[in-house]
Amino acid sequence: MLSYEPGDSFAHRLDPRSKLAVQGGFAAAAFAYTTPPGLAGLTLIAAVVLLVARTSPGRALWEFRFVFPFLLAAPLLEGLSWTDWFVVADALDPALAGYRVLLVLLVAAAYVRTTPVRDSRAAVQWIIPGRTGRFLGMGVAFVFRFLPVLQADLSRIRDAQRARLGTERSVPARMSTVVVAGFNRAFERADRLSIALRARCLSWNPTLPALRFSRYDAGATVIAIVLFAVSLRSAI
């Protein structure tokens, strides 16, 4: 399951603000250069990011497998033609756009795996000060902690369905069972979370970990600046 894992990789030692800057610059460059040469260069950068984060590309792709049908549907639908059945040229741009999204997700996976939730919240509140930043930081913390739990619940629901020969049922029937059971479990989790937050006296302004830039963050910041500059140059 894709979540924070303690480690001693190079990415683990970076400040979350520099990692967020690299993510932002990478996403900006990906949307500015949706061409085969541009995506080839971004693929190399994404591979380096995964390497320094010691994150398996196969594992990250498996965690994002639910987006594959959407990424594949766009080029397939765009390439369909009433006269020539399928036009490859028409499907090329949506395919490149889908690959761009996949690269951004891989870089995001490296961030999630190497950054504690509290550090992410502290970085968000540093970037956006005031009550807005505290609200967004709390939301980020909830999402990072809640989504893996919901994903595990859905996995257990599917396992239970297979154990009861649910695979013999039709696809719509299986999907409806998973969706209904998943929503029920999500609402139960939300109720428990609400009670737990009240019991622990949820604070809007908790004491968060101190963030400090190190010499390692200098290189990451330079990379982020270069990526932003490249994307701005394309826009101009």
In this prediction the pTM is 0.74
DSSP code of 205? S
> DSSP alpha helices (H): ranges in the chain?
16-32, 36-52, 57-63, 68-79, 88-114, 117-127, 130-163, 171-199, 215-235
Return the structure tokens found at 86: 């399928």
CA 28 to chain centre: 15
Chain segment 66-102, per-residue pLDDT in tens = 788 888 888 888 777 767 777 777 788 888 888 999 9
Helix 117-127 and helix 16-32, axial crossing angle in degrees, nearest 10 = 70
CA 233 to chain centre: 26
Chain segment 114-164, per-residue pLDDT in tens = 988 888 888 888 888 877 877 777 777 777 777 777 777 778 888 888 888
211 conformational bin, left if phi > 0, alpha if psi -120 to 50, beta if neither:
beta
